[in-house]
């Protein structure tokens, strides 16, 4: 029989009773096949073929819904047992349908079921054709007459078959987010995950780049970028088997998270979102960026506000007078908003350091005797907006909130607590806590209607993992916490659909595409040293469009001049976190000028296409450029980091993405002397083949070029 199947496949005929399910975007195809015993296999993931019929010739790569005990020898996607101890599940195809979605894409829904245990799984594949993105998730339905227990519940299992696999991961720590390392995958498993509960991405980010056959390159090679939309514990398992085939399992991290499904209940996994390109990581990133702006991020195609944040200018040490002076500075600089950071609240336990006050969201009467309204009146008078920092999921043991609701914190009931930044995490699995968090924010917006923006922080991972609310099912906490978090965000988004918000978690500790449904941008890192930022922003750029990456100019690294700092910040959503009175007059003047420059080019940075030209990881130079969608205007950012002494000029910087036949006028902008300098007029062909003299042999220089057709 096996022999017959092989013959049928090689002549391009599907075996009798086999059925093909083709999930297509404009350039990518994921092909699944139901074989005669109703098992669902993946037969292809790659470049979309011109003749769909030819997928018939491909062999099975592996099952899509591998569950525990079904005879597969490697890591399964699902492990579901019932309370009779049945540890076996064989999910077989029942039906599928393809629907058109509102945005003119498609959604394929495949139903699989176990014939013995009546548990079923629905697989969802949503395509974003133009952006070449596929998002997939599963629903697990308990059809048994008894509870079942989910031990593993992946969002996706993808099979790949190539000569070699190179994995780029993005990991680090506080102030060292998204450091990139690439390694070749060999036999066995490589896991990237997080157990932190909250501030989940402090050490590892929920995304990866997988290159097939050779190392990742910007403009050539097969690259798959994948990410999980989940603001909690995640896990990616990459397993290479004895035949050098790779499976990638993505989903919630099942660590300490056995989940009980009652009779008739459904569990929905988060989305795994991926794109595939045969033209390198550059195109794959651009796919994800376009998808994110059009289909995912809150106000993805909307404006973003430039701002002045007081955190690094004052830390906790401020009063109304100081803040009003900063508001005046924000206006003088031409910024859109002033953002008041941590330290504005708490009376019985004033928030004068990170020891006290979290949870008591009333303005501190000493620092702000006239409340927040005095500040919003000051911003309104200046014609700018007012934003406010909050950390509503957290509590200090020194707070009125914990005195009133000791059981609202995630804390052990029988051991000494451990604290992270002197605080505890509130139990968002508890609906009372969810209501409290919503009411805090809603209350602030009601009593102070001129608040136009929130920076939502989350500084602590979950410590002392015990919930007084989830008494009988502690292993639900990690998951129900995240669901509770989303429930609050949903309610807020419904009531305030266009309220811009910055996602922050002690720097970049939360960076995922489910949270970004509710947030317009995120704080990339507390590390604002411009040199480090070149690396950090470079890392984030693989997944996130520039308009989401908050990049502030601060006092970090006194050896770097203000122009370099600003040029770095301009490659993202620019802001300042500075006390301008500490700057020299020419530096302060330059900041003003730079804000105007930025306002003139930010549409290209926000909505255009990113080309990463030279990686900072070579430690000498780095450059990136943004081009508008019509290829008429572009901005190029070039930095000399630590070039070694050389008698000869560095190589010219070859640009990308331009139209070869078009002529572009090139000038250098954002120069410290405030004067633009004409460089010349060149064809796209010349600029892409020969390039611009953009680098120097000097340390820590930067140049910004503007190109116009
Ligand atoms: C951590 C954030 O990353 C900082 O920007 C700042 O808001 C502090 N928290 C305030 O406590």
Best residue for ligand 1 mutational test, from 422, 458, 461, 523 (most atoms within 8 Å of Cβ): 523
Per-residue exposure over 60-81, b if at least 16 CB sit within 10 Å of its own CB, e if not = bbbbbbbbbebeeeebbbbbbb
Q: Whose CA is nearest to atom 2 of ligand 1?
A: 506
Q: At 160, is the secondary structure helix, strand, or coil?
A: strand
Query: What pLDDT digit, counting tens, does each position of 250-270 carry?
Result: 999 999 999 999 999 999 999
Counting from 1 in the atom list of ligand 1, the atom nearest the Cα of 523 is 3
Q: Kindly report which listed range (8-22, 54-68, 451-465, 597-611) carries the lowest average pLDDT score.
A: 8-22
- Ligand 1 centroid distance, CA of 558 (Å): 21
- Ligand 1 centroid distance, CA of 70 (Å): 48
Instruction: Give CA torsion, residues 689, 694, 698, 702, to 10 deg.
Output: -140
- Ligand 1 centroid distance, CA of 357 (Å): 15
> Where does residue 116 rank: exposed (0-12), middle (13-18), buried (19+ CB within 10 A)?
exposed
- Asked whether the predicted pLDDT for residue 57 surpasses 60, the reply is yes
Counting from 1 in the atom list of ligand 1, the atom nearest the Cα of 577 is 5
- Asked whether the predicted pLDDT for residue 536 surpasses 60, the reply is yes
- Asked whether the predicted pLDDT for residue 3 surpasses 60, the reply is no
DSSP for residue 270: P
In this prediction, residues 11-17 reach a mean pLDDT of 54
List the one residue out of 503, 507, 573 whose CA is nearest residue 337.
Answer: 573
Query: What pLDDT digit, counting tens, does each position of 483-535 carry?
Result: 999 999 999 999 999 999 999 999 999 999 999 999 999 999 999 999 999 99
Q: Whose CA is nearest to atom 1 of ligand 1?
A: 506
- Ligand 1 centroid distance, CA of 421 (Å): 11
- Ligand 1 centroid distance, CA of 507 (Å): 7
In this prediction, residues 153-182 reach a mean pLDDT of 98
Q: Whose CA is nearest to atom 9 of ligand 1?
A: 506
Instruction: List, as one string, the DSSP characters of 587-655.
Output: HHHHHHHHHHHHHHHHHHHHHSEEEEEE-GGGSSEEEEEEE-TTSSEEEEEEEE-SPPP-SSPPPPB--
**Residue 11's pLDDT band (cuts 50, 70, 90):** very low
- Ligand 1 centroid distance, CA of 252 (Å): 27
- Ligand 1 centroid distance, CA of 199 (Å): 12
pLDDT for res 71: 82
Best residue for ligand 1 mutational test, from 353, 526, 554, 555 (most atoms within 8 Å of Cβ): 526
Best residue for ligand 1 mutational test, from 313, 356, 389, 578 (most atoms within 8 Å of Cβ): 389
Distance CA 393, CA 505 (A): 11
Pairing type for strands 385-390 and 271-277 reads: unpaired
Task: State the CB neighbour count (10 A cutoff) for residue 337.
Answer: 20
Q: At 215, is the secondary structure helix, strand, or coil?
A: coil
| Backbone dihedral angles phi then psi of residue 399, each to the nearest 5 degrees | -160, 155
Counting from 1 in the atom list of ligand 1, the atom nearest the Cα of 341 is 7
pLDDT for res 14: 59
Q: How far is CA 709 from the centre of its chain?
A: 33
Tell me the helices (H) and strands (E) count for the chain, helix number first. 12, 36
- Ligand 1 centroid distance, CA of 121 (Å): 41
Task: State the CB neighbour count (10 A cutoff) for residue 287.
Answer: 24
Counting from 1 in the atom list of ligand 1, the atom nearest the Cα of 504 is 3
Task: State the CB neighbour count (10 A cutoff) for residue 518.
Answer: 20
The DSSP H or E segment spanning 569 is: helix 562-570
**Residue 15's pLDDT band (cuts 50, 70, 90):** low
283: its two tokens: 């195109």
List the one residue out of 180, 346, 299, 285 whose CA is nearest residue 656.
Answer: 285
Spatial CB neighbours of 85, under 8 Å, sequence gap ≥ 6: none
In this prediction, residues 435-454 reach a mean pLDDT of 98
Q: At 232, is the secondary structure helix, strand, or coil?
A: coil
Per-residue exposure over 292-330, b if at least 16 CB sit within 10 Å of its own CB, e if not = bbebbbbbbeeebbbbbbbbbbbebebebeebbebbbbb
In the chain, the percentage of residues whose pLDDT exceeds 70 is 98
| Backbone dihedral angles phi then psi of residue 606, each to the nearest 5 degrees | -75, -45
Q: Whose CA is nearest to atom 11 of ligand 1?
A: 342
Query: What pLDDT digit, counting tens, does each position of 552-594 carry?
Result: 999 999 999 999 999 999 999 999 999 998 999 999 999 999 9
Distance CA 581, CA 576 (A): 13
Best residue for ligand 1 mutational test, from 341, 359, 527 (most atoms within 8 Å of Cβ): 341
Q: Within 13 Å of residue 93, how many CA atoms lie on the same side as its CB?
A: 23
Best residue for ligand 1 mutational test, from 339, 387, 504 (most atoms within 8 Å of Cβ): 504
Best residue for ligand 1 mutational test, from 176, 199, 342, 422 (most atoms within 8 Å of Cβ): 342
Counting from 1 in the atom list of ligand 1, the atom nearest the Cα of 505 is 3
Q: At 467, is the secondary structure helix, strand, or coil?
A: coil
β-pair partners for 308: 338, 576
648: its two tokens: 């000869």
36: its two tokens: 């005669």
- Ligand 1 centroid distance, CA of 532 (Å): 18
- Asked whether the predicted pLDDT for residue 1 surpasses 70, the reply is no
Q: Where are the alpha helices (DSSP H) in 171-318?
A: 280-291, 311-314
Q: At 481, is the secondary structure helix, strand, or coil?
A: helix
Task: State the CB neighbour count (10 A cutoff) for residue 484.
Answer: 21
- Ligand 1 centroid distance, CA of 455 (Å): 9
- Ligand 1 centroid distance, CA of 457 (Å): 7
Query: What pLDDT digit, counting tens, does each position of 359-412 carry?
Result: 999 999 999 999 999 999 999 999 999 999 999 999 999 999 999 999 999 999
- Asked whether the predicted pLDDT for residue 10 surpasses 80, the reply is no
Query: What pLDDT digit, counting tens, does each position of 643-695 carry?
Result: 888 888 899 999 999 999 999 999 999 999 999 999 999 999 999 999 999 99
Protein residues with CB under 6 Å of any ligand 1 atom: 311, 341-342, 389, 457, 459, 504, 506-507, 523, 526
385: its two tokens: 């907006």
pLDDT for res 9: 41
Spatial CB neighbours of 124, under 8 Å, sequence gap ≥ 6: 107, 108, 109, 136, 137, 138, 139
Counting from 1 in the atom list of ligand 1, the atom nearest the Cα of 354 is 11
pLDDT for res 17: 61
- Ligand 1 centroid distance, CA of 172 (Å): 18
- Ligand 1 centroid distance, CA of 459 (Å): 8
296: its two tokens: 């995912």
The DSSP H or E segment spanning 563 is: helix 562-570
Distance CA 167, CA 330 (A): 43
- Ligand 1 centroid distance, CA of 337 (Å): 18
- Ligand 1 centroid distance, CA of 290 (Å): 29
pLDDT for res 13: 53
Mean pLDDT (the chain) is: 96
């Amino acid at each position: 029989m096996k022999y017959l199947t092989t013959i049928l496949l090689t002549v391009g005929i599907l075996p009798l009773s086999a059925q093909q399910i083709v999930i297509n975007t404009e350039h990518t195809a994921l092909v699944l096949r139901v074989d005669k015993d109703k098992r669902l296999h993946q037969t292809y993931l790659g470049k979309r073929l011109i003749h769909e019929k030819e997928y018939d010739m491909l062999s099975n790569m592996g099952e899509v819904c591998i569950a525990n005990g079904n005879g597969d020898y490697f890591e399964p996607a699902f492990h579901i047992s019932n309370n009779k101890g049945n540890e076996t599940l064989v999910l077989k195809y029942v039906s599928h349908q393809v629907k058109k979605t509102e945005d003119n894409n498609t959604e394929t829904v495949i139903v699989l079921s176990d014939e013995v245990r009546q548990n079923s799984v629905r697989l969802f594949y949503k395509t974003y054709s133009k952006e070449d993105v596929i998002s997939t998730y599963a629903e697990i339905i308990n059809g048994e007459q008894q509870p079942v227990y989910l031990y593993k519940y992946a969002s996706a299992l993808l099979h790949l078959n190539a000569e070699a696999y190179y994995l780029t991961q993005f990991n680090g720590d506080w102030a060292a987010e998204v450091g990139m390392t690439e390694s070749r995958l060999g036999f066995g498993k490589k896991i990237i995950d997080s157990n932190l509960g909250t501030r989940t991405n402090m050490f590892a980010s929920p995304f990866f780049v997988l290159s097939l056959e050779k190392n990742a390159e910007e403009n050539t090679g097969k690259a798959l970028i994948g990410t999980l939309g989940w603001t909690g514990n995640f896990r990616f398992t990459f397993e290479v088997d004895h035949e050098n085939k790779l499976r990638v399992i993505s989903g919630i991290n099942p660590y300490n998270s056995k989940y009980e499904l009652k009779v008739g209940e459904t569990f929905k996994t988060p989305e795994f979102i991926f794109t595939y390109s045969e033209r390198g990581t550059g195109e794959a990133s651009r796919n994800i960026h376009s998808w994110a702006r059009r289909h995912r991020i809150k106000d993805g195609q909307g404006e973003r506000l430039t701002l002045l944040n007081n955190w690094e200018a004052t830390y906790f040490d401020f009063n109304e007078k100081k803040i009003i002076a900063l508001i005046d500075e924000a206006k003088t600089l031409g910024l859109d908003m002033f953002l008041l950071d941590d330290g504005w609240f708490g009376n019985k336990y004033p928030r004068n350091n990170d020891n006290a006050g979290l949870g008591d969201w009333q303005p501190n009467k000493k620092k702000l005797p006239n409340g927040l309204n005095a500040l919003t009146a000051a911003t309104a008078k200046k014609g700018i907006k007012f934003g406010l920092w909050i950390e509503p999921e957290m509590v200090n043991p020194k707070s009125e909130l914990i005195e009133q609701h000791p059981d609202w914190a995630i804390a052990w009931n029988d051991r000494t607590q451990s604290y992270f930044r002197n605080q505890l995490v509130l139990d968002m699995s508890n609906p009372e806590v969810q209501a409290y968090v919503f009411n805090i924010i809603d209350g602030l917006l009601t009593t102070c209607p001129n608040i136009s923006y929130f920076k939502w922080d989350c500084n602590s991972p979950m410590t002392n993992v015990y919930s007084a609310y989830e008494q009988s099912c502690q292993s639900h906490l990690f998951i129900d916490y995240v669901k509770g978090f989303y429930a609050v965000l949903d309610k807020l988004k419904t009531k305030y659909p266009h309220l811009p918000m910055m996602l922050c978690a002690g720097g970049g500790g939360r960076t995922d595409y489910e949270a970004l449904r509710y947030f317009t941008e995120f704080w990339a890192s507390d590390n604002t040293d411009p040199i480090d930022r070149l690396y950090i922003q470079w890392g984030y750029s693989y997944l996130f469009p520039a308009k989401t990456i908050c990049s502030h100019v601060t006092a970090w690294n006194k050896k770097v001049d203000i122009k370099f700092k600003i040029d770095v910040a301009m490659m993202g959503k620019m802001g300042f976190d500075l006390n301008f009175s500490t700057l020299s007059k020419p530096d302060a003047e330059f900041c003003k000028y730079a804000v105007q420059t930025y306002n003139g080019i930010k549409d290209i940075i926000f909505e255009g296409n990113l080309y990463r030209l030279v990686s900072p990881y070579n430690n000498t130079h780095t450059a990136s450029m943004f081009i508008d969608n019509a290829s008429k205007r572009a901005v190029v950012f070039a930095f000399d980091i630590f070039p070694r002494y050389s008698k000869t000029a560095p190589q010219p910087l070859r640009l990308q993405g331009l139209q070869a036949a078009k002529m572009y006028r090139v000038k250098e902008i954002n120069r410290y002397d405030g004067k633009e300098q004409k460089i010349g007029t060149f064809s796209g062909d010349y600029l892409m083949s020969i390039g611009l003299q953009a680098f120097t042999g000097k340390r820590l220089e930067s140049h910004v070029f503007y190109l116009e057709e």
